Amino acid sequence: MNAAAPPAPRPATPGYFASHWRSLDYFNLDRLTLAVALVFTGLLFSNSDLFFPGASERFQAYAYAYLVLAALFVLGIRARWQGFQIQLTAHITTDIVLIVLMMSTSERLAGGMGLLLAISIASGGLVGSGRLTLLYAAMASIAVLLQHSFSVLAGSERHDGFFQVGLLSAGYFAIGWLAHALTQRALHSETLAQRQADELALLNRINALAIENSPDGLLAVRGDGVVRHASPRAAALLGLAQPVAPDVTRLDACSPDLARLAQPLQPGETSTLDTPAGQLRVRSIPLGTPDGSRVLVLEDQSQAEAAAQRLKLAALGRLTANIAHEIRNPLSAISHAAQLLHEDVDNPAHTRLTDIIENNARRLDRLVEEVLTLNRRDRLNPAGFDAPMLRTLIDELRQTEEMPADAVIVSMPPALRFQFDPDHLRQIVWNLLRNAWRFSRKQAGSIRIDAHVLGDSVQIEIEDDGPGVTVENRGKLFEPFFTTDAQGTGLGLFLARELAEANHATLAYVPGTGGGRFCLSLYGSA
């Protein structure tokens, strides 16, 4: 059996709030009560002298009609048919017409029932936000004057009653004007409250998005240790397997270590917490609530250190690039002067000095070139590579470094295919090959280059038969300007890794193989 569909929402009326319809509903409930009272009045006093002769039946008919119309108005309000202002006008018009008709049946009831119209005008002004209130007052005044005039002409009332009717009409206008002023003020307050509620809802959505996307974990904890809110990032940093139930889950049940650490933590103090996700920095921010609630901020130290490292390297890159540009021009002049001195072959001292100058000038030139290459790492021009092209590149670099042909053993599958920037790949392989030759035994087969296809990735491994990298130096391999060779620049491996990442690849050192071994992993092979 299918569940019943939820009722459709009531249609909205432009310019009016739901509170207007509720007020109209209450106004009509008062009308229903009044109609029932008038019906009972007609039944109880049908045979009395309260009414004009033969007017008792007409009073009862008007009272029953008033009751039926009030009941029909309930359906109109529920359906919001024909709009709010039209319904309100129909309600007030019904009150004026039927109450004036009932006033015409009894001289003794005329004054009291005329006051009922004042209630209708005031209620209509309050419910309808003061719109058309003076029109309703004018309609009621005209109706009362006409009723009294017909009664005077019929001889049932005296002429001096016009003064009382005039005062009653003036009261209608006074009440209408007062209702108009009060409703305008109430409407302004309601509009302001609605605007503030919308702004508060928007602010809550912004806060929720900020908390969900914050790199730091946020935990709102009551003074008794119950978690009021836990952001997704906090659950991830703490490694919580079960979701946190707000105002139910205790902090010591989520993370006993954090509960013990946070208990004595004062505002402004920080502490560290070791978790499976890494080391966290914990701060406490009091909320100033009576229950002693506070927010625990969990900062991932690894991310903070990585961000600081990126900023440092970016600043270092800009600095070294500017320095490299300034060095290149005087370096060219020094190299040219050394070549001129080298032409004086008769003086052995000049020859030795010029060799020193040229060697250091080449070293500085290589350093400048590596720095400038690092600054251009984001200029990608990927191209397709296969096994013969990679083998040709390796052979050219081997000849450039004057390595014997049997010193480098290359092994790769014929179906090797991948995408990479040619200049970047040349720089990476050249740095790795040069380092491998520098620390190898410089014998036949001292260097092995193996390429493998693993699923949708390609791995190129370069291994030498040297002593390898010590444990204490492995964490510094890819830091800029770190080198164990007096002739090295310390930028080779750092540059190689930066170029690899620019091509969506990774370069890593593989320990435990005896000699030095580096692996270049290229993803998205074609």
* Cβ-contact 137, 172 below 8 angstroms: yes
Give the model's pLDDT for residue 374. 59
User: Hey, what amino acid is at 368?
Assistant: V
Between CA 324 and CA 272 the distance in angstroms is 41
Between CA 469 and CA 69 the distance in angstroms is 97
Residue 158 CB neighbour total at 10 angstroms: 11
Give the model's pLDDT for residue 526. 46
Give the model's pLDDT for residue 366. 65
Cα radius of gyration (the chain): 46
Q: Which long-range contacts (CB under 8 A, 24 or more apart) does 424-428 make?
A: 424/377, 424/380, 424/499, 424/500, 424/502, 424/503, 425/385, 425/393, 425/503, 426/393, 426/397, 427/373, 427/495, 427/496, 427/499, 428/496, 428/499, 428/500, 428/507, 428/520
Give the model's pLDDT for residue 8. 47
Q: Which residues 6+ apart lie within 8 Å of 393 measured at CB? A: 425, 426, 429
Q: Which long-range contacts (CB under 8 A, 24 or more apart) does 73-79 make?
A: 73/28, 73/31, 74/25, 74/28, 74/32, 77/21, 77/24, 77/25, 77/28, 78/10, 79/10
Between CA 169 and CA 175 the distance in angstroms is 10
Residue ranges of alpha helices (H) inside 401-491 are: 422-439, 471-474
Return per-residue pLDDT of the chain as tens, 526 residues. Answer: 444 444 444 444 555 557 777 878 888 888 888 889 988 888 888 888 788 887 888 888 988 998 899 888 888 888 777 677 788 888 888 888 888 888 888 877 777 787 788 888 887 777 766 667 778 888 888 888 887 787 777 766 666 667 777 787 887 788 878 877 777 787 788 788 888 988 888 888 888 787 777 778 888 888 888 888 888 888 887 877 777 888 888 888 888 888 887 777 777 777 888 777 677 888 888 888 888 888 888 887 777 666 766 676 666 666 666 666 666 666 676 776 667 666 665 666 666 667 777 766 666 666 666 666 655 655 677 888 888 999 999 999 888 888 998 999 999 998 888 888 888 888 889 889 988 898 888 888 899 999 988 878 899 999 998 888 887 777 777 777 667 665 555 677 888 888 888 888 889 888 876 788 899 998 755 4
Give the model's pLDDT for residue 10. 47
Between CA 508 and CA 496 the distance in angstroms is 10
